[in-house]
Amino acid sequence: MQLVPNLLLFGRVLRAAGVHVHRERMVDAIEATEWIGLGSRADLRATLSALLVHRYEDLPLFNDAFDLFFRAHGSSALDLPLFSLGERARILMRRNTGAPQRLDLESESAESAASAAFALGAYSTIEVSRTKDFSDFTAAELEAARRLMLRMQWQPGTRRTRRWQRASRGDIDMPRLLRTNLMRGGELIELPRRIRREAPRPIVMLADVSGSMDRYSRMLLAFASGLTRSARQVESFVFATRLTRVTRLVSAPTGYRVVSRMVRDLHDWGGGTRIGEALRTFNTTWARRVMRHGPVVIIVSDGWDRGDPLLLARELARLRRRCSRLMWLNPLLGSAGYEPLTRGMQAALAHIDDFMPAHNLRSIEDLATHLQRLGPGLKTRPSIDGNYRQT
């Protein structure tokens, strides 16, 4: 049996399937087979998995590839279903294409026409009113506003970290004081000082993309995209009936197609809203991973909720305990005479720190200013599970 060529081939198969396999690891894998032996397929699987995979997400893909490869093992290498494996990663990224999407108003051709127009500088000449409601925008204005938002620079305030840095003010840095001055014989010549370093405060954005938000979703996703790309630590989620993490999607450098790709990928686009359930999913599945360092949480929704308002209130209360500030942006708040009377909104009001409009460019700018003003000393609320202290 030709072990080394087979292992190298398997490494290539894994790479083709989308598992990130580092070259050095192949060397390790070949060395490892000397220790493990090839008697047991389970051991071989464990060996290759331990050395070639380093992400939990890749494990299922690895297992599939392993099964396929070592079942085919023995027959000619040309019979291997390499192509089907290679295709798989791409197919996975595109599932959910079947559902009808209400927001995908522009077809591919319209989209490419629009980008061609932009390339000619067409949109740069359009003046966009900062106080006009997004829902009244023409297609051209939408596009111009969208580009504006993608370019916006966000400075979402800072948080104080637990790391020290040298500074000209602050507390005296005792270890450094002694180290520097003892070297000179113990005379205190310098008084080095230190302060806690500050880092950008993370943001978690949860955007409602259900049917009632239709007119605003596009703009708000552009907003999410701009925010994610300009501030460093932003996590984005969208929800209607279920919650989907879109952080990677909105931060993709091909900014223009971000929104429409998202539209295609979201199975639940335009369905009814169950905010409470979406938040519950967030709290149980994602909060542990993305709610670090006392983030600012921004929920964007009109509050039209078909779910249980009690559940919504409970999950909001929980969410609020774990973040430093909970904001709710409601596009409807911009229209004159709007009262937050929906059951969902009523349930939410008691648990949020800021209730702000998000219907035109002015309101988005206000939000930017507001975020920037949040100081580094913002406290995370005491948490009943003690996971978050002051950050």
Binding site for another protein (CB under 8 A): 20, 22, 24-25, 28, 31-32, 35-36, 42-43, 45-47, 49-51, 53-56, 59, 161-164, 174-175, 178-179, 182-183, 185-186, 280, 283-284, 288-289, 292-293, 314, 318, 384-385, 391
CB of 22 to another protein, least distance (A): 5
Considering the complex, state which of residue 14 and residue 263 has its C-beta at the smaller distance from another protein.
Answer: 14
Considering the complex, state which of residue 132 and residue 321 has its C-beta at the smaller distance from another protein.
Answer: 321
Burial 167-206 (b: 16+ CB within 10 A, else e): eeeeeebeebbeeebeeeeeeeeeebbbebbbbbbbbbbb
Considering the complex, state which of residue 29 and residue 142 has its C-beta at the smaller distance from another protein.
Answer: 29
Considering the complex, state which of residue 170 and residue 255 has its C-beta at the smaller distance from another protein.
Answer: 170
Considering the complex, state which of residue 135 and residue 181 has its C-beta at the smaller distance from another protein.
Answer: 181
Considering the complex, state which of residue 12 and residue 292 has its C-beta at the smaller distance from another protein.
Answer: 292
CB of 213 to another protein, least distance (A): 26
What are the beta bridge partners of residue 213?
none
CB atoms within 10 A of CB 341: 8
Instruction: Quickly tell me which residue has 């369905």 as its tokens.
Output: 271
Q: Do the beta carbons of residue 364 and residue 205 sit within 8 Å?
A: no
CB of 80 to another protein, least distance (A): 25
CB of 286 to another protein, least distance (A): 11
CB of 10 to another protein, least distance (A): 17
CA separation for the pair 6, 8 (Å, rounded) = 5
Question: What DSSP line would sit under 153-188, residue for residue?
Answer: -----EEEEEEEEEESSSEE-HHHHHHHHHHTTS--
What are the beta bridge partners of residue 204?
235, 297
Q: For the chain, what's the residue count?
A: 391
CB of 37 to another protein, least distance (A): 8
CA separation for the pair 282, 261 (Å, rounded) = 23
Considering the complex, state which of residue 20 and residue 151 has its C-beta at the smaller distance from another protein.
Answer: 20
CB of 82 to another protein, least distance (A): 24
Q: Among 279, 284, 281, 343, which residue's Cα sits nearest to residue 315?
A: 279
CA separation for the pair 303, 293 (Å, rounded) = 27
